[in-house]
């Protein structure tokens, strides 16, 4: 019946049949009727030819192997004068080029013809039939530009043939109307995606800069989105529009502000760090609450990279808004700037006394007081007005942190370690420190309890070693294997499972139990330790570990690496019937990964329990991780297999992948990974 309608004498019946097939034709119908559609592509009636072209597009999408059937006819359609047929032909050729590299090479020979068609549209006189707001057939222009973008990608010959045309379109198209802006935007995307000349790329960036001045927020948004993509490759060209981009921070629309913030942070360099810091700090003072954390962390990272003297000032100003992952970075910077130790400990002590609500700031302050408390007590500092502080004042401040309901367990860990470290830096209040530490020997928090027990043992059994154990920390090398808080883009690092030294207590706020911090205190080994359960490990057993037993490394294996997301599996514990593993995700891209979820499936005879994840947002640049613990109970001792589904959103695009772990050998071996 359909074949009969396609051959009907009435063009309207034929048109209806073509529309029906194009909208709802099944794969079987497409296979059967493809020769008839190819015949209609050569019909003399432009009305039918237009409908047949769009029907051919549907057939190719439904049955890709039929694409070769339409290639010869598609080439001849470019000589049509009818705009509707020409528009359909460009859509058809675009579909053919996307699906077959050989067809793409074949149609690259048609670039001069497409250029001529486009020039005719740009220079043609007013045509009421195709004119939209003074632009001649913008729909056809946009389609041709998209096709040229595909044909010119990674091809010098095709790119050279269209450079002059793109320059002509970019300079002669009126951007005051939406239709003109659409053509210009597609022109910019084409210039950026082909092997274009440097001058043409600068012209494209300038067009995007003009879009930033448009009253339409949607146009400003897509302009900044495009600039964000090219800021790394054309940094100097984008830098010329820095003032306009910074002005967009004042926009009323939150989405525009977010894009302006991301782009502003990307434009920070050693040359403009001072002016950009001023603008960004002003924005921080009035930005929406949902942007404060991103703004503060971005400012901190930029200052850390280009002007480290700003870091402490920024932390004092916005310490409550920066992410927790910046704490170890700031501590590392403080250790390397020995000439600023006195100034830093004085400033942070004053901030601690004034406000203990900002947890990140309190952690860094406690660490500095523990390390450089002797400099604080001397009261001599050239860079700041001297502050006379007594031993009791310092201990009162640390006790306030320990007892405050606002302090997190990690912050209390910093304060307790700082208190213990002061026992070798003060003279008259060692008994008070011993009393403070002993109180936490029965603390409900296992981490604090374990540390307090160890510190009490230092006071009693190992008092002769206390001064050496609690001496000042050496300078930390950010690039050392044990430092995992660097933000080198694109670099994938193995997770550091070693326990932080007590002077760094709380840097990693993970609730997992650790083995023996005294080993770390004594600097006995840099090798990660096999974790154990603190509730079953007595303090005597912990101290016995000082005998020099070789620690066992915790196996960590990468199971997924794609789109900047890295997923590793860490083997925490294994018995005859149970296996405990941790899935650790990190993000090396320039944008936060959101809506991150993990799903797992195992054989029916195995019981699976997934603990709640630590979060669903993975910070960019490797500045944080999301961890999820998985418990596997295997009473029948069958061969363990697990399938993991990874779902996440990156820059608005949803991604979903599946990885299968085919075997779970002993903790000393690596599993077999099969990506699906």
CATH of domain 556-661: 2.60.40.1230
Q: What are the residues facing 584 on neighbouring strands?
A: 568, 627
Q: Where are the alpha helices (DSSP H) in 287-337?
A: 289-306, 311-318, 326-336
Three-state SS for 384-399 is CCCCCCCHHHHHHHHH
Q: Is the pLDDT of residue 480 over 70?
A: no
Q: Is the pLDDT of residue 578 over 80?
A: yes
Give the model's pLDDT for residue 417.
92
The model's pTM is 0.54
Give the model's pLDDT for residue 483.
46
For residue 293, CA distances in Å to 289, 364, 452, 484 come to: 8, 18, 33, 21
Q: Give dist(CA 630, CA 600) in Å, integer.
A: 9
pLDDT band at 587 (very low <50, low <70, confident <90, very high): very high
- Listed residue (361, 351, 356, 371) closest to 420, CA to CA: 371
Give the model's pLDDT for residue 671.
47
The strand pair at 593-601 and 642-650 is best described as antiparallel
Apex 482 CA angle, 481 and 486, nearest 5: 80
Q: Is the pLDDT of residue 421 over 70?
A: yes
Q: Give dist(CA 629, CA 616) in Å, integer.
A: 14
Q: Which helix (H) or strand (E) holds 58?
A: helix 46-62
Where are the chain's structural domains? 556-661
What the block records as the tokens of 666 is 């002993």
Q: Is the pLDDT of residue 545 over 80?
A: no
Contact between 209 and 247 (Cβ < 8 Å): no
Q: Is the pLDDT of residue 58 over 70?
A: yes
Per residue in 67-123, pLDDT (tens digit) is 888 888 888 888 878 888 888 888 888 888 888 888 888 888 888 888 888 888 887
For residue 352, CA distances in Å to 289, 359, 366, 400 come to: 24, 10, 8, 10
pLDDT band at 610 (very low <50, low <70, confident <90, very high): confident
Better-predicted residue by pLDDT, 428 or 521: 428
Edge to edge, what strands does the sheet with 642-650 contain? 593-601, 642-650, 653-661, 673-675
Give the model's pLDDT for residue 319.
58
pLDDT band at 355 (very low <50, low <70, confident <90, very high): confident
Q: Give dist(CA 218, CA 196) in Å, integer.
A: 27
- Mean pLDDT over the full length of the chain: 78
Give the model's pLDDT for residue 416.
92
Burial of 49 (0-12, 13-18, 19+ CB in 10 A): buried
Give the model's pLDDT for residue 386.
66
Q: Give dist(CA 312, CA 674) in Å, integer.
A: 46
């Amino acid at each position: 019946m359909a074949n009969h309608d396609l051959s009907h004498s009435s063009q309207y019946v034929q048109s209806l049949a073509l529309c029906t097939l194009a909208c709802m034709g099944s794969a079987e119908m497409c296979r059967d009727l493809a020769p008839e559609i190819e015949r209609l592509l050569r019909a003399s009636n432009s009305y039918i030819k237009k409908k047949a072209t769009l029907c051919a597009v549907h057939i190719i999408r439904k049955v890709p192997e039929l694409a070769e059937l339409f290639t010869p006819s598609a080439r001849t359609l470019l000589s049509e004068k009818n705009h509707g047929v020409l528009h359909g032909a460009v859509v058809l050729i675009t579909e053919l080029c996307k699906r077959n590299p050989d067809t793409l090479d074949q149609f690259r020979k048609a670039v001069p013809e497409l250029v001529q068609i486009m020039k005719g549209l740009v220079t043609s006189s007013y045509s009421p039939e195709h004119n939209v707001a003074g632009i001649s057939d913008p729909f056809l222009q946009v389609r041709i530009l998209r096709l040229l973008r595909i044909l010119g990608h990674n091809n010098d010959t095709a790119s050279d043939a269209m450079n002059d045309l793109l320059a002509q379109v970019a300079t002669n198209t009126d951007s005051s109307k939406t239709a003109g802006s659409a053509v210009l935007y597609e022109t910019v995307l084409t210039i950026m995606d082909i092997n274009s000349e440097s001058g043409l790329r600068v012209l494209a960036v300038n067009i995007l800069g003009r879009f930033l001045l448009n009253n339409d927020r949607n146009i400003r948004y897509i302009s900044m989105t495009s600039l964000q993509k090219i800021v790394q490759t054309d940094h100097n060209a984008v830098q010329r529009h820095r003032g306009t981009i910074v002005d967009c921070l004042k926009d009323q629309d939150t989405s525009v502000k977010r894009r302006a913030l991301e782009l502003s942070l990307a434009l920070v360099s050693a040359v403009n760090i001072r002016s950009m810091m001023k603008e960004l700090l002003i924005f921080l003072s009035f930005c929406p609450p949902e942007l404060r954390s991103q703004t503060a962390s971005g400012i901190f990272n930029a200052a850390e990279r280009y002007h480290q003297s700003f870091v402490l000032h920024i932390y004092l100003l916005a310490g409550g808004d920066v992410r927790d992952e910046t704490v170890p970075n700031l501590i590392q910077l403080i250790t390397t700037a020995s000439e600023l130790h006195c100034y830093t400990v004085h400033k942070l002590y004053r901030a601690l006394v004034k406000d203990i609500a900002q947890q990140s700031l309190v952690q860094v302050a406690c660490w500095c007081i523990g390390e450089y408390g002797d400099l604080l007590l001397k009261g001599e500092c050239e860079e700041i007005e001297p502050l006379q502080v007594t031993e009791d004042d310092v201990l009162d401040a640390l006790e306030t942190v320990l007892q405050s309901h606002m302090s997190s367990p990690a912050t209390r860990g910093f304060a307790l370690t700082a208190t213990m470290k002061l026992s070798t830096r003060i003279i008259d209040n060692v008994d008070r420190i011993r009393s403070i530490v002993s109180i936490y020997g029965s603390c409900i928090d296992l981490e604090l309890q374990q540390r307090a027990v160890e510190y009490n043992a230092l006071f009693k059994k190992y008092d002769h070693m206390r001064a050496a154990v609690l001496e000042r920390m050496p300078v930390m090398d950010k690039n050392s294997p044990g430092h995992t808080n660097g933000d080198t883009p694109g670099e994938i690092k193995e997770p550091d499972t070693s326990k932080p030294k007590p002077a760094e207590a709380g840097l990693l706020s993970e609730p997992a139990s650790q083995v023996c911090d005294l080993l770390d205190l004594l600097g006995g080994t840099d090798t990660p330790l096999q974790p154990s359960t603190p509730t079953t490990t007595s303090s005597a057993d912990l101290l016995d570990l000082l005998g020099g037993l070789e620690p066992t490394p915790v196996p960590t294996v990468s199971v997924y690496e794609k789109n900047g997301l890295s997923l590793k599996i860490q083997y925490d514990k294994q018995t005859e019937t149970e296996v405990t593993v941790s899935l650790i995700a990190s993000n090396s891209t320039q944008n936060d990964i959101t809506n991150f979820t993990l799903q797992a499936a195992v054989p029916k005879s195995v019981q699976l329990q997934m603990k709640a994840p630590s979060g669903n947002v993975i910070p960019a640049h490797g500045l944080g991780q999301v961890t999820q613990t998985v418990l596997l109970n295997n009473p029948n001792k069958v061969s363990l297999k697990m399938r993991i589904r990874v779902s996440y959103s990156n820059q608005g695009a949803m991604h979903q992948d599946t990885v299968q772990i085919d075997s779970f050998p002993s903790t000393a071996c690596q599993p077999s990974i099969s990506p699906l």
